Amino acid sequence: MFTVKAAPFDYSFPPDKVALIVIDMQRDFVEPGGFGETLGNDVSLLTPVIPVVADLIALFRKNNWPVIHTRENHAPDLSDCPPAKRDRGNPALRIGDDGPMGRILIRGEPGADIIDALKPLPGEYVVDKPGKGAFYATDLSSILKDLDVTHLVFAGVTTEVCVQTTMREANDRGFTNLLIADATGSYFPAFKEATIAMIAAQGAIVGWVAPLSALAEAVSGGKSDG
Ligand code: TIU
């Protein structure tokens, strides 16, 4: 077991039962001209998490632990996009409209792809999801069953939307979750902080939270108890 100094108390995981889930590190959320910006957000707020997510992925690759990337996107014919989602609010461009990185949030378009700095390697999993949660209408459950993992480490964007939704879905499915605080970001810093607090509250009601440095220290041997 490895034991990570975390909130609200230490998080222990068996190294043969852990996987990393990197949520939606797509151009549509972190670059200008994509879905996130059309919703009125300042996408530059997400930039600082990119190098931390890169280091977290590198840690998992070095240990040969599974890495799963997700992408929020929709089929070109929008058959998996509920009108209630597309018609919501008053965005500059709607899902499926033409934008500077191709059609907004459409599978296969440049904007819907994962950013170059965090490109999946061959053999890593890429889960396309139409919802905010990565378990809804995807094969994530069967991937995790095949991998035989029990512990999930989370990173990505945005903390209170797709990351938190997926962590709650995972929690209800019996997984033991760790969120890497500096590897997740929000367009609303106060929402990120609130999400971190509510995940760890009530004795880790949704999961644990720790910085990447704490996970790295545990894995490097300092906190391992065999
Ligand atoms: N808008 C927002 O904060 N997030 C999303 O729409 N999707 C994800 O979080 N990936």
pLDDT value for 225? 56
Q: Model-level pTM? A: 0.97
Select from 143, 191, 136, 134 the least CA-distant residue to 167: 134
**Helical H runs in 87-211?**
140-147, 164-172, 189-204
For the question of residue 85 being annotated catalytic, the response is no
Architecture (CATH level 2) of domain 2-220: 3-Layer(aba) Sandwich (3.40)
> How far apart (Å, rounded) are the C-alpha atoms in residues 151 and 83?
35
Return d(Cα 218, Cα 220) in angstroms, integer. 6
Contact present, 37 and 187 (Cβ < 8 Å) = no
Residue of 81, 129, 132, 192 with catalytic role = 129
Q: What is the pLDDT of residue 221?
A: 85
Class of residue 21 by CB neighbours under 10 A (exposed 0-12, middle 13-18, buried 19+) = buried
CB 125 within 8 A of CB 67: yes
Ligand 1 surroundings by CB, under 6 angstroms:
24, 29, 36, 39, 72, 132, 157-158, 161-162, 187
Helix (H, G, I), strand (E, B) or coil at 125: strand
Active-site choice (81, 113, 132, 162) = 162
Classify residue 134 by its DSSP letter. Answer: S
Q: For residue 109, what is the DSSP state?
A: S
Closest Cα to residue 112, out of 125, 122, 99, 93? Answer: 99
The predicted-structure confidence for 55-85, as pLDDT tens digits, reads as follows: 999 999 999 999 999 999 999 999 999 999 9
Ranges of residues in the chain with a pLDDT under 50 are: 223
d(CA 38, CA 94): 8
133 with 206: CB under 8 angstroms?
A: no
Domain ranges of the chain: 2-220
Which residues are 129's β-sheet partners?
Answer: 72
Cα separation, 178 vs 152, whole angstroms: 6
Instruction: Pick the residue whose CA is nearest to atom 10 on ligand 1.
Output: 162
CA 194 to CA 201: how far, in whole Å? 10
Q: Which pLDDT belongs to residue 222?
A: 54
